[in-house]
Chain A
């Protein structure tokens, strides 16, 4: 125990939700339910970062769930710094570099995240290759092929065909292609078992795809004059949409499907899981959102109105996937062990090693893999 001081072991209590006998604390170490209220869903304590509510709009703790609360600060600063750099370049009318920087912010930040939390365990090149690289290559290929067809339809004024292609065809094909890399990992590496592994692989593949796709789609603008014409406001709106919102939407829809697929394998009992965590629900929401954004982007000409609508869709999607992550982390596995005492990576209290920290309720599956290994060694 701490400083060599002997502490009495925590008393054992019965969780009113799962019936397990668990060490006392705020949360059941087995099922994560709030012990005093018996609330299984604990809406005020998001399973990945328990000091946040489940229904809270937060990009980092939603798409970067392995990041401990204390480590999210530097990533938040990095996101703001990246955004500030884009704004600065756009304000100087350097729209080509601003476009490149805008579409690179989230993908590079996500690569840093993968490195930080070691999702890939001992196979970094395989995981990054199967997600970012395959996603990027497919994004490049699809945008080159469909971009030409779409331009032809737009230029010849064939709006009906262009709507079908831009609103349905391209989003559906893009979503399928974004899933290719993660599904390869699903089939080839079953040791990446946890739903959050699937989430991270899906988000990474989608961000690689979006990066290549956006660079290809905007290449005529990037290869324009260095100090370009156009209103900085229009550019700010356009870059926010392409660099932030579309990247978030693609990452969220793909991560939604992959986390549902991984959860399906992880929780074979399928008992009492909310419908929102099913593969069918994930497919309906993901493809529905992609088609909605595609149709909306084609029909709405006003940049600001378009940005507001896409922003709302992004916010709702982030809240939805956050709920799915929360429910996925609360799924009971067969693991019922009470391990040795070790510091919780999230709250830093010394607690018995269990699926959930009895003190703060953080899911152990949401801790970085290196952090988990270290706590075990220290114990």
Chain B
């Protein structure tokens, strides 16, 4: 198709006719200088036109700076190196910090009474728990109570049947693996008791994955004792602190709660 000689000028943006000598389109404001000034070809379906394929030698090969094999291979190599380095640093940190928590032969415990106390009575299992009034009740029903402490939480609940050892085992095995990772027993709780009843208990380390999928290192203790047909279980969790006895900053407060427990 031959190019027709310029006659009337049209805006290349909106197609409006341009005034003679205009620098801008009167309708849409587009500058005219950069526009083509051909008269529009006759209306109708555009003619088919097939552009030639460039010879391979003319391909803009420069757009590929990385060799194809280098992209996949390079990524995998970099990932392996980064994974090994970061995991190495992390594991070294783990190895250094893992054994520094006081788990055996710790300093004598000084059990100081809680300043003010509130209490909870289980109507189903007939026990009374005295706890610091500074703690917050998160949940309670007739079989137990969950309390938010200063930096952790503690749950005291009753159940019937089974031994204390079985109760501890059931609680730990029942922790959902989606949230509780790397659960490892750190130590037994020596002299475990709930109220005046001897019991069993253990302290564990774990990673707790919270709702936003970030993890925190925690220590938790599970203690159980049985009187008659009632088994009471104490489940206490604190952020892991290597400077505290058993790695639990509130261990003494939890111990005091167990001491003040009353089977009625």
Contact = CB atoms under 8 A, between A and B. Distances in A.
A338 B182 contact: no
Contacts of A368: 63
Contact of A101 (B1, B30, B80, B146): B80
Contact of A348 (B36, B47, B53, B151): B53
B261 interface: no
Nearest to B10: A19
Contacts of A105: 75, 79
A374 to B, nearest CB: 4
A351 B90 CA distance: 55
Given A370-B62, A370-B65, A14 B239 contact: no
A218 B214 CA distance: 6
B75 A109 contact: yes
Interface in A98-151: 98, 100-101, 104-105, 108-109, 112, 115-118, 143, 147, 150-151
B207 interface: yes
B129 to A, nearest CB: 16
Nearest to B30: A334
A19 B11 CA distance: 7
A308 interface: no
B7 interface: no
A12 B212 CA distance: 58
Nearest to A77: B72
A137 B162 CA distance: 53
Contacts of A375: 60
B177 A78 contact: no
Contact of B182 (A217, A230, A358): A230
B19 interface: no
A97 B39 CA distance: 66
B174 interface: no
Nearest to B220: A155
B41 A96 contact: no
Given A25-B51, A224-B182, A112 B63 contact: no
B138 A157 contact: yes
B36 A21 contact: yes
Interface string B79-92: 11011101100110
Contacts, number: 302
B216 A97 contact: no
Contacts of B215: 217-221
B71 A112 contact: yes
Nearest to B82: A104
Contacts of A156: 136, 148-153
Contacts of B1: 11-13, 24
Interface in B77-107: 78-80, 82-84, 86-87, 90-91, 93-94
B28 A271 contact: yes
Interface in B131-171: 136, 138-139, 146-153
Interface stretch (A2-10, A256-264, A312-320): A2-10
A369 to B, nearest CB: 9
Contacts of B73: 81
A154 B183 CA distance: 18
A147 B214 contact: yes
A328 interface: no
B14 interface: yes
A221 B207 contact: yes
Contacts of A147: 214, 216
Interface of A: 1-3, 7, 10-14, 18-25, 30, 35-36, 68, 71, 73-75, 77-78, 81-82, 85, 89, 94, 96-98, 100-101, 104-105, 108-109, 112, 115-118, 143, 147, 150-152, 154-159, 162-163, 166, 170, 215-226, 228-231, 234, 238, 241-242, 246, 269, 271, 294, 297-299, 301-303, 332, 334-338, 343, 345, 348-351, 358-359, 367-368, 370-371, 374-375, 378
Given A345-B63, A348-B59, 15 more contacts: A7-B52, A19-B12, A36-B45, A74-B69, A78-B71, A85-B80, A96-B90, A152-B239, A156-B150, A222-B87, A225-B91, A228-B181, A301-B176, A348-B53, A349-B51
